Chain A
Amino acid sequence: QAAPQVVLNVPETQVTCLENGLRVASENSGISTCTVGLWIDAGSRYENEKNNGTAHFLEHMAFKGTKKRSQLDLELEIENMGAHLNAYTSREQTVYYAKAFSKDLPRAVEILADIIQNSTLGEAEIERERGVILREMQEVETNLQEVVFDYLHATAYQNTALGRTILGPTENIKSISRKDLVDYITTHYKGPRIVLAAAGGVCHNELLELAKFHFGDSLCAHKGDVPALPPCKFTGSEIRVRDDKMPLAHLAVAIEAVGWTHPDTICLMVANTLIGNWDRSFGGGMNLSSKLAQLTCHGNLCHSFQSFNTSYTDTGLWGLYMVCEQATVADMLHAVQKEWMRLCTAVSESEVARAKNLLKTNMLLQLDGSTPICEDIGRQMLCYNRRIPIPELEARIDAVDAEMVREVCTKYIYGKSPAIAALGPIERLPDFNQICSNMRWTRD
């Protein structure tokens, strides 16, 4: 009997592995522009107290010149091509990517290969970049959401690598040396931990030839063992930074969830969608699929909230970020916890059905344009070592039902002690034990 088939109006993701372990993955939509980049399984999680900030520092040095090109040459070349070169570092991944006209794909790959293999890492440039990163740190500090998430990691993963920031502390930014950078590259930038991903107008065979030419004889596998991923234990705990002069309180509350590949992750994503997002300029009618939005809107409990499910290799944070006025902090948190308890005990089939539809929609609509598609390919290749076909993703979401949401939420949320980060006028935030006791179902 022939296996059932389904016809899709999207191109296939083609994947090839080179001899040195580097994976090449692409999706061709035939358009005149493309995105191509390197997704590297390395981020701040691989750092220790002394060199925390190195991965990020390295990202900054990538555009400062190579043995072949001075910084000026590189900048002029990219600008004259009408291309863009960008990079970012997260706790577990480092990404370098270029957007360009499809006809310039060969040049884009060559440039990417050059900057990650032949960066000069000149002493003068390193010195100059310290100032730039410190300035960036000031910028990050004005983004209160980022500050709260850094606090959340600091408390939830205290004394572990995930608890540290990506930028690193000021002392490190001032002291990271050329040797730290070189060591980081030689330890982590290895074929098996790198994915060359592309989307837009890209032909897989052409990309493969370019990959072989530029990466085939380098980036060979690790001589010794692959550095072990340091374990990161979750601790239910809190950080409070009270500042009554700030106009609004910013809070994040999270429980420990699961890693990227864990089967329960899909169910937690549905639960995350059930909580949803809301902003008071949406008004009351919008996003009614979220019960919490209805509650906060009618009770005027907050300015905005946003549920999140941040995954890492072997752990994750599932929770809510909210911005409230001083007077409503306690009521808001109470409403949130009550809603979480409802997920564990009484969420209905129709709500879950709706959340499943929304989750599928959000996931699929995100894949719009070569950059989001390329990011999806690169990230999935690093996390799952494959790109999950859309029908499979849909099947996995379809398999979730209300009973399962209750069961999985109970497993991860009910009675668990959360990690909390709170900033601003938070005098009225209940004490930690009180918050913990509200992680159980109580009638009121």
Chain B
Amino acid sequence: SSGATYPNIPLSSPLPGVPKPIFATVDGQEKFETKVTTLDNGLRVASQNKFGQFCTLGILINSGSRYEAKYLSGIAHFLEKLAFSSTARFDSKDEILLTLEKHGGICDCQTSRDTTMYAVSADSKGLDTVVGLLADVVLHPRLTDEEIEMTRMAVQFELEDLNMRPDPEPLLTEMIHEAAFRENTVGLHRFCPVENIGKIDREVLHSYLKNYYTPDRMVLAGVGVEHEHLVECARKYLLGVQPAWGAPGAVWMLTAQWHSTRGGSSRWRETCQMSALRPPRFQSSHIYGGARELLLLEEDFIPFAVLNMMMGGGGSFSAGGPGKGMFSRLYLNVLNRHHWMYNATSYHHSYEDTGLLCIHASADPRQVREMVEIITKEFILMGRTVDLVELERAKTQLMSMLMMNLESRPVIFEDVGRQVLATHSRKLPHELCTLIRNVKPEDIKRVASKMLRGKPAVAALGDLTDLPTYEHIQAALSSRDGRLPRTYRLFR
């Protein structure tokens, strides 16, 4: 029996005969240093070292729903689900997973509105294999009929699950983007519309990939790797490679990056009110009032992030002890005063060229009007006096959130990759902390006032019988006190 060969020693006692570990030691504070090299074809290679025997590396591409204006909506979502399927060198997804497992690796693809990431976490010793595999996955997918059929099903299931989820957040996020940016850039649907699932095929995908999966729109990023070694691997697998869809040719012109008009045009300022009636599923009504930050400049990004922290909020019932933002405005002014509200949370969605600061609120449908007014008043107050103590608290919390998130290797990977993709360099955590520390009350007032001069976007979900009209919400947001215009009705 094999029972005899297996150590019959409880886990509380050391196993004899195991090699003695020699541990690493820390000399002072961890140093952050991001190195960037650009290859001859324009592809950027970025790296960052880190403790641990594992590394996270991957390819980030300027691709996502925002680039689908001239394509079928849903391609990026479709590609996300298709990722890590068979390639020129690997016959199946299973073969890819097996190869990775030998290096203790796992893989994942994530698409957001503006970036697609193909990432692998694995033992650092497998670097060469992993970069080779990533290059093949990104540039030489086979996209077989069978895989496309499987993907159609997976997308369909994901959409179904999305509609069955008790949490309305993903749907509301989709709706507020649509309201704020209409049928353009980040306002395009992140999820594949049901009617497009059957239309997306190999040809459609190839024409999209040809335009967007080009070396100058890619970054190979690695955390926990030697920079020189990573560059060497990049040269070997990502330079002078002809992708499966052929060389990028004249078609390039089609890229027609709509966002290059940079959000200033008045056409874009048009806003729509979206409402969907789904009373059976949501017993509460949700509104998602947002205001666009137009022309998101770097100097505004940090104050907005601080403002978002200052607004804070959360659920009226939420787990967790102190530290969840109990002294943020949405707790102090909203949730602590109006116990009938279920939720009031501030969200900050930021993109390369634009952004959204939103407040999500929910309550019983009978109190929708009151809820909207409470939120519009909070928007107006953003442009008023900022208390120094609350500002300092928000700044400290933003810094701690930043540094705590950056404890995680995949988060560092994403931060390195996204920054290098957007700006060709990386602002290091301590540099960001300095920018945060320098935010003054005037900065908050400046960005908030600028935001409030734009047109608002509203998304609402649930029983919306008593929801004020868009014009009334807009009027409230341009008023001095945030009050909704009085409506006179004879019968109520």
Q: Chain A interface (Cβ within 8 Å of chain B)?
A: 3-12, 28-33, 62-63, 74-76, 78-87, 99-101, 135-136, 139, 142, 200-201, 247, 260-263, 265-267, 280-286, 288-289, 303, 354, 357-358, 360-361, 364-365, 367-371, 383-386, 388-392, 395-396, 399-401, 403-404, 407
Top 8 nearest A-B pairs (CB, nearest first) are: A84-B323, A82-B400, A283-B154, A30-B26, A12-B23, A285-B93, A78-B322, A82-B396
Stretch of B11-19, B67-75, B266-274 with 4 or more beta carbons under 8 angstroms from chain A: B11-19
Contact of B8 with A11 in the complex, beta carbons under 8 Å: no
Known contacts A7-B22, A8-B24, A368-B408; is A396 also within 8 Å of B15 by CB?
yes
Contact with A along B324-339 (1 / 0, CB 8 A): 1111000000000000
Determine the distance from Cα of A86 to Cα of B320 in the docked complex, in whole angstroms.
Answer: 5
Collect the chain A residues with CB atoms within 8 Å of residue B92's CB.
285
Contact of B8 with A99 in the complex, beta carbons under 8 Å: no
The reply on B10 being an interface residue by CB < 8 A is yes
28 pairs across A/B with beta carbons < 8 Å? A4-B19, A8-B22, A12-B21, A28-B26, A30-B27, A32-B30, A75-B327, A78-B323, A80-B392, A80-B396, A82-B396, A82-B400, A84-B321, A84-B323, A99-B404, A200-B407, A265-B11, A284-B154, A285-B93, A289-B94, A365-B54, A368-B409, A383-B12, A386-B12, A390-B21, A395-B15, A395-B18, A399-B6
The reply on B147 being an interface residue by CB < 8 A is yes
Determine the distance from Cα of A283 to Cα of B148 in the docked complex, in whole angstroms.
Answer: 11
Cβ < 8 Å to A, chain B residues 279-327:
317, 319-327
Collect the chain B residues with CB atoms within 8 Å of residue A85's CB.
321-323
Contact of B154 with A389 in the complex, beta carbons under 8 Å: no
CB nearest neighbor in B for A262: B10
Shortest Cβ gap from A327 to chain B (Å): 16
Q: A11-B51, A386-B14 are in contact. List 16 more A-B contacts (CB 8 A).
A: A9-B53, A10-B51, A11-B23, A30-B30, A33-B407, A75-B326, A81-B400, A83-B323, A85-B321, A263-B11, A280-B154, A281-B158, A284-B153, A364-B53, A370-B407, A395-B15
Collect the chain A residues with CB atoms within 8 Å of residue B102's CB.
357
Shortest Cβ gap from A387 to chain B (Å): 11
Shortest Cβ gap from B30 to chain A (Å): 5
Determine the distance from Cα of A96 to Cα of B21 in the docked complex, in whole angstroms.
Answer: 31
Shortest Cβ gap from B130 to chain A (Å): 13
Contact of B104 with A361 in the complex, beta carbons under 8 Å: yes
Contact of B24 with A11 in the complex, beta carbons under 8 Å: yes
CB nearest neighbor in B for A87: B321
Determine the distance from Cα of A384 to Cα of B106 in the docked complex, in whole angstroms.
Answer: 29
**Chain B interface residue count, Cβ-Cβ cutoff 8 angstroms:** 79
Contact of B322 with A282 in the complex, beta carbons under 8 Å: no
Determine the distance from Cα of A9 to Cα of B325 in the docked complex, in whole angstroms.
Answer: 36
Contact of B14 among A283, A354, A392 (CB under 8 A): A392
Number of A-B contacts (CB under 8 A): 227
Contact of B19 among A6, A31, A79, A99 (CB under 8 A): A6
Contact of B322 with A399 in the complex, beta carbons under 8 Å: no
Contact of B26 with A29 in the complex, beta carbons under 8 Å: yes
Collect the chain B residues with CB atoms within 8 Å of residue A63's CB.
321-322
Interface centre among A31, A400, A407 (most CB of B within 10 A): A31
The reply on B172 being an interface residue by CB < 8 A is no
CB nearest neighbor in B for A2: B20
Contact of B396 with A260 in the complex, beta carbons under 8 Å: no
The reply on B29 being an interface residue by CB < 8 A is yes
Contact of B403 among A33, A283, A285 (CB under 8 A): A33
Contact of A389 with B18 in the complex, beta carbons under 8 Å: yes
Shortest Cβ gap from A34 to chain B (Å): 9
Interface centre among B26, B84, B158 (most CB of A within 10 A): B26
Interface centre among B85, B321, B397, B408 (most CB of A within 10 A): B321
The reply on B2 being an interface residue by CB < 8 A is yes
Known contacts A63-B321, A86-B321, A282-B154; is A80 also within 8 Å of B18 by CB?
no
Contact of A364 with B54 in the complex, beta carbons under 8 Å: yes
Determine the distance from Cα of A96 to Cα of B157 in the docked complex, in whole angstroms.
Answer: 39
Contact of B104 with A357 in the complex, beta carbons under 8 Å: yes
Determine the distance from Cα of A261 to Cα of B98 in the docked complex, in whole angstroms.
Answer: 31
Collect the chain B residues with CB atoms within 8 Å of residue A400's CB.
6
Contact of A10 with B29 in the complex, beta carbons under 8 Å: no
Collect the chain A residues with CB atoms within 8 Å of residue B101's CB.
289, 354, 357-358, 361
The reply on B399 being an interface residue by CB < 8 A is yes
Contact of A8 with B14 in the complex, beta carbons under 8 Å: no
Known contacts A11-B23, A29-B51, A392-B14; is A281 also within 8 Å of B154 by CB?
yes
Shortest Cβ gap from A250 to chain B (Å): 14
Contact of A84 with B324 in the complex, beta carbons under 8 Å: yes
Collect the chain B residues with CB atoms within 8 Å of residue A263's CB.
6-11
The reply on B166 being an interface residue by CB < 8 A is yes
Collect the chain B residues with CB atoms within 8 Å of residue A396's CB.
7, 11, 15
CB nearest neighbor in A for B429: A32
Collect the chain B residues with CB atoms within 8 Å of residue A83's CB.
322-323, 400
Determine the distance from Cα of A123 to Cα of B52 in the docked complex, in whole angstroms.
Answer: 48
Collect the chain B residues with CB atoms within 8 Å of residue A261's CB.
10-12
Contact of B53 with A392 in the complex, beta carbons under 8 Å: no
Collect the chain A residues with CB atoms within 8 Å of residue B84's CB.
285
Collect the chain A residues with CB atoms within 8 Å of residue B28's CB.
30
Determine the distance from Cα of A282 to Cα of B8 in the docked complex, in whole angstroms.
Answer: 38
Determine the distance from Cα of A82 to Cα of B15 in the docked complex, in whole angstroms.
Answer: 42
Contact of A9 with B24 in the complex, beta carbons under 8 Å: yes
Contact of B24 with A10 in the complex, beta carbons under 8 Å: yes
Contact of A84 among B2, B5, B320, B392 (CB under 8 A): B320
Contact of A267 with B98 in the complex, beta carbons under 8 Å: no
Contact of A5 with B21 in the complex, beta carbons under 8 Å: yes
Contact of A81 with B396 in the complex, beta carbons under 8 Å: yes
Known contacts A99-B404, A142-B166, A385-B12; is A201 also within 8 Å of B158 by CB?
no
Shortest Cβ gap from B141 to chain A (Å): 12
Collect the chain B residues with CB atoms within 8 Å of residue A142's CB.
166
Collect the chain B residues with CB atoms within 8 Å of residue A7's CB.
21-22
CB nearest neighbor in A for B106: A361
Known contacts A365-B54, A384-B11, A395-B15; is A267 also within 8 Å of B6 by CB?
yes
Collect the chain B residues with CB atoms within 8 Å of residue A399's CB.
5-7
Contact of A31 with B30 in the complex, beta carbons under 8 Å: yes
Shortest Cβ gap from A12 to chain B (Å): 4
Determine the distance from Cα of A8 to Cα of B5 in the docked complex, in whole angstroms.
Answer: 27
Contact of B147 with A101 in the complex, beta carbons under 8 Å: no
The reply on B235 being an interface residue by CB < 8 A is no
Shortest Cβ gap from B343 to chain A (Å): 13
Contact of B2 with A369 in the complex, beta carbons under 8 Å: no
Contact of B396 with A11 in the complex, beta carbons under 8 Å: no
Contact of A407 with B1 in the complex, beta carbons under 8 Å: yes
The reply on B241 being an interface residue by CB < 8 A is no
Determine the distance from Cα of A356 to Cα of B438 in the docked complex, in whole angstroms.
Answer: 50
Collect the chain B residues with CB atoms within 8 Å of residue A284's CB.
150, 153-154
